[in-house]
Amino acid sequence: MRRLFRGAFIVWIVLRYGLDELVLTSFQKPWLHVLARIVSVGRNLGAPRGQRLREALERLGPIFVKFGQVLSTRRDLMPVDIADELARLQDRVPPFPSDVAVAIIERAFGKPVGEVFSSFDRAPIASASIAQVHFAKLVDRDGKERDVAVKVLRPGMLGAIDKDLALMRMMAGWVEGLSGDGKRLKPREVVAEFDKYLHDELDLVREASSAAQLRRNMAGLDLVLIPEMYWDFCTTDVIVMERMHGIPISQVARLREAGVDIPKLARDGVTLFFTQVFRDGFFHADMHPGNIQVSVDPATFGRYISLDFGIVGTLTEIDKEYLAQNFTAFFRRDYKRVAELHIESGWVPAGTRVDELESAIRAVCEPYFDRPLKEISLGLVLMRLFQTSRRFQVEIQPQLVLLQKTLLNIEGLGRDLDPDLDLWNSARPFLEKWMIEQVGPQKLLNQLKDQAPRYATLLPELPRLLHDFLKQRPGNQQRQLEELLAEQKRTNRLLQALIYGGIGFALGLLAMQLVVRVRVF
């Protein structure tokens, strides 16, 4: 019954704000324009279409706001007036009352807000779908006053999100049961992934821990700044972090006036994304312009500033390996290898013909190589890839949904910063370096370091294990001892072979690296 009422409310909002008329007028058919005028009779639809769409998404709740945030980064797909209005959803959603925010803070810390902060700005500096942010000053343990940002969770979020997720699960069941693509699209699994990330976003302690992890991962990269979390003041409803000072990345004119190298900033964004995805397997997955600034402080000039870590994506080593190999083969235009990887990974049926899949992938991707971003629409590429995936029954990978969303955000940001950016050549150096690290001796050394603690604890146990083994059959000790001595001799010979083989392997790797450096890409 709750899902029924929620569905009725969504339909009412669609009609109330004239979204049906908005959809009909977006088509070129004259009869659809006539139908749009008919359905708008008796309704006050005088407000601009972008404003109506934004207000409707705000009324529908956080899930729809997040959908609008993604659309706002796709100016290649959205008319300018709609994209400008949807950009307001990034950090200018109507705030909830400051008195409510203060009450949440005081309940979280168990004391008046004046005892927690030496000063507190009651007017929020930013307000989004899940939380809003206030600036304040905090006196730390050393008695030093620090500028901080206080993030406060919106009240009632859990109930609102659960209603929409219940509706999405019901619709996913319909798609799975009624659509011929239901099994391949895995709608239930996709909704389950979405459910997990949204509920994680409602726990601000989890967000703070994700920020701390990203801060450690990015240390030394000199490309991005991530605020420090003040753990004495972090709860599930409120977190306090270092206040960051920068220019919003959407204000490109201000960045140019400040002397920021915009093309370099765009290239650094590509490097930052690939580093988080392939090196760490842990990436910021909500990279819309409202969450990104650029530092103009002399000590950190031109670096990115990342904010809002409620949604982060993770990849397993298997996912990273397959994705990296796919990207590498793609950048080399080795479409046969891309097709083989899809079959090897099980993403397409085992009986798929490699040559047919290779030809289909080539037809989608080849027209977009060596072109700047202004001549590429990744949205269009993904649409054509989706058509190809349907033909070859490619299974949707729910664990990669966040990565696909982030890719769309990254491309949208890159298009706004530097339309002449060559995405392929910018990504090439990173992937080349990553490939060498994966097949080189450093990878072997890293694996040995990872296993060293295990072997260090196992070696002292060997004498006891040997003693227990000999005690099991006292009558056969002599024979067992002889067998052990013979096994030791075989082990020594094997060890010698491994040492010599290892030396040869290392030399081979060095030779291979030389070949890779010369021939890759």
Q: Which residues are catalytic?
A: 286
Degrees to nearest 5, angle at CA 265 with 292 and 328: 100
Asked if 159 and 198 touch (Cβ cutoff 8 Å), the reply is no
How many distinct helices (H) and strands (E) make up the chain? 23, 12
The residue assigned the tokens 């002449």 is 420
DSSP state of 43: S
Greatest distance between any 2 Cα atoms in the chain: 101
Q: Annotate 460-477 with DSSP letters as a single string.
A: GGHHHHHHHHHHH-GGGH
Put the strands of the sheet holding 224-225 in their side by side order.
Answer: 224-225, 304-306, 292-294, 247-248
Structure tokens at 7: 């569905």
Residues with Cβ within 8 Å of residue 325, at least 6 apart in sequence = 337, 341
Asked if 75 and 252 touch (Cβ cutoff 8 Å), the reply is no
Phi-psi category of residue 18: left, alpha or beta, with phi > 0 → left and psi -120 to 50 → alpha? left
Degrees to nearest 5, angle at CA 98 with 92 and 104: 110
Asked if 128 and 90 touch (Cβ cutoff 8 Å), the reply is yes
